[in-house]
Chains A and B, each alone.
Chain A
Amino acid sequence: MNVISKPVTAGAAAPYTAFCDATISRLMPLHVVVSPSGVIVGTGPTLRKLGLGPEIEGSDIRDFFDILRPRTFNDIADLTTAMQGRIKLRLRHARHLPMTGLAVPLQGRDEVLLNLSFGFSVVDAVQTFDLTCGDFAATDLTVEMLYLIEAKSAAQTEQKRLNDRLQTAKLTAEEQAMTDDLTGLANRRSLDTALADGLMRGSEFALMQIDLDYFKAVNDTMGHAAGDMVLKTVADHLRTETRASDRVARIGGDEFMIILSRLTNHEDLMRLSNRMIKRLEEPIPFEGEVCRISGSIGISVAERSAETTSERMMREVDTALYASKYGGRGQATIYREGLEDFVESEAQRAAASGNNR
């Protein structure tokens, strides 16, 4: 490949320095011209900014560069042919900055021209040697590439921020969708999911519903603020009386539901229920007065059985809860076969005496 169109004069070639290296320097500011023995006889202006010192010209190229590819070569002229002139090298004093180059013979001369480039290490190189636009040829796309890298990384940073914000918003929304605002307990949706989950895994657990007794009276006589206060206190009590593995939910105005994992022993369940009711009956101070409530509890136990469904457990809990209410409130009932009949007859008796619930 002929890169220099200078007419070749007859006889011995003039020394390289007399040659028109100004043209090469403008086209290829990052070049070196090397004599057949490996001595650097010419350098481009950008190359001279790479911290090589003035002694570079006249030195052996191998004192300043490690030539990595081609791996072996006998003399400098081989560089122009070994890999079609492609070479890989690095500065000995900046080994973290690999460079690529193209070696071509200078027409009619013995010297070899090496045009160099930083390739992927260009961002580091620009930083390390404080290179400017003027250090690259006008046709070299390095500056445009640096622009592009910077533009894309700014866009990527912004994209990442957006993703972070969306992720946070998503988690918050998910949590809000699963939480009861007033008490911070799980809500109905969350409980339904956990119940279906527990049944699907075939785990042993009990489902408990607690309806507050006399809550309507508190709300009616002392106001909604008192009512809210009571609900929050109840939530605290239920949290205290359960374990972290249990799921406590507020599923309606004064209705709470709890999934008690691995708790199916009837005696344990009754003991826990009674403790909870006792807690609920503790007077709750509010603006100089006290609110008094109680709670009725219904429980259904999920044994290891294939036919247990969410609907069935909900129905059983409901029946057990009515049994507690008809039984005089402030008590707990665990569902058993035939309990429906008792509730049915109590309901009829209540209707007959004009009493509801």
Chain B
Amino acid sequence: MHGLINRSIQCFIRDNYGQSTWDTVARDAHLPALGFEAMLEYDDQVTHRMLDMVALHLDKSRPAVLEDVGTYLITHSNTRAIRRLLRFAGETFEEFLNSLDDLPDRVRLAVPDLQFPRLDTVEPGPNQVEVTLSEADPEFGFVLMGILRALADDYGALVFIDHKVDPEAGVILAINLLDAAFAEGNAFSLARTQIKEKAV
């Protein structure tokens, strides 16, 4: 697993639940004592062990934890670089949804060795987008759901997202854009603000 993913989960725990919670998880799941490095590669088993332990400690299901991780990546100030990079994809949430199939390419441009699964989108009706993650680890769907919900919020859009598992196609996220201008979203400017972006 790419270190960026492990590191994201580590920072999610640290920033939302405190360093001591992370220390406990790290100890109980036999994770590297100094935590994960975003630029290194780790064995997949390490990630799964960590997620099991996180779910146990937070008393949540793994899907719930993963969706929270997705939300964290968009909303927390320590990860604002990620939010910014995603906001480049469109001026409105609608535009963002329309360019969703470009997301893997966009991610690859930023982090060439990060395996981001292919996204196939269809529009079954007006203001509806269905994303199929045919090649992805089914659990990735929950992370993406957290990301999309938080991003919709960031844009000020009101959406309904349904997570389905099709035995043949894999994970499908059905996105229903109820109101593109439901609330005033957070501002996004092409120019980076002078505040130094904190890396995750």
CA distance A131 to B88 in the complex (A): 13
CA distance A158 to B38 in the complex (A): 7
Contact of B111 among A127, A144, A155, A162 (CB under 8 A): A155
Contact of A130 among B85, B90, B110, B191 (CB under 8 A): B191
Question: Which residue of the partner chain A has the closest CB to B197?
Answer: A154
Is the pair A132, B190 in contact by a Cβ cutoff of 8 Å? yes
A133 CB to closest chain B CB, in angstroms? Answer: 5
A147 within 8 A of B: yes
Question: Which residue of the partner chain B has the closest CB to A151?
Answer: B110
CA distance A148 to B88 in the complex (A): 10
Sorting the interface of chain B by its residue count into under 10, 10 to 19, 20 to 34 or 35 or more gives 20 to 34
CA distance A154 to B191 in the complex (A): 15
CA distance A147 to B84 in the complex (A): 9
A157 within 8 A of B: yes
Question: Which residue of the partner chain B has the closest CB to A122?
Answer: B190
Chain B interface mostly helix, strand, loop or mixed? loop
Is the pair B189, A162 in contact by a Cβ cutoff of 8 Å? no
Chain A interface mostly helix, strand, loop or mixed? helix
Contact of A148 among B84, B109, B189, B192 (CB under 8 A): B109
CA distance A158 to B11 in the complex (A): 14
Residues of chain B within 8 A (CB-CB) of A161 are: 199
A111 CB to closest chain B CB, in angstroms? Answer: 31
B62 within 8 A of A: no
Contact of B191 among A127, A147, A157, A159 (CB under 8 A): A127
A220 CB to closest chain B CB, in angstroms? Answer: 37
Binding site for B on A (CB under 8 A): 123, 126-127, 130-134, 143-144, 146-148, 150-152, 154-155, 157-159, 161-162, 165
Ordered by A's residue number, 16 sampled pairs between the chains whose C-beta atoms are within 8 Å are A126-B191, A127-B192, A130-B191, A131-B191, A133-B88, A143-B88, A144-B88, A147-B88, A147-B106, A150-B85, A151-B110, A154-B85, A154-B110, A157-B197, A157-B199, A158-B39
Q: Which 7 pairs show the lowest CB-CB distances between chains A and B?
A: A151-B110, A127-B191, A147-B88, A158-B199, A154-B81, A126-B191, A126-B190
Binding site for A on B (CB under 8 A): 37-40, 81, 84-85, 88, 90-91, 106, 109-111, 189-192, 197, 199-200
Known: A147-B85, A158-B38. 9 other contacts (CB 8 A): A130-B191, A132-B189, A133-B190, A147-B106, A147-B110, A150-B84, A150-B85, A151-B110, A165-B37
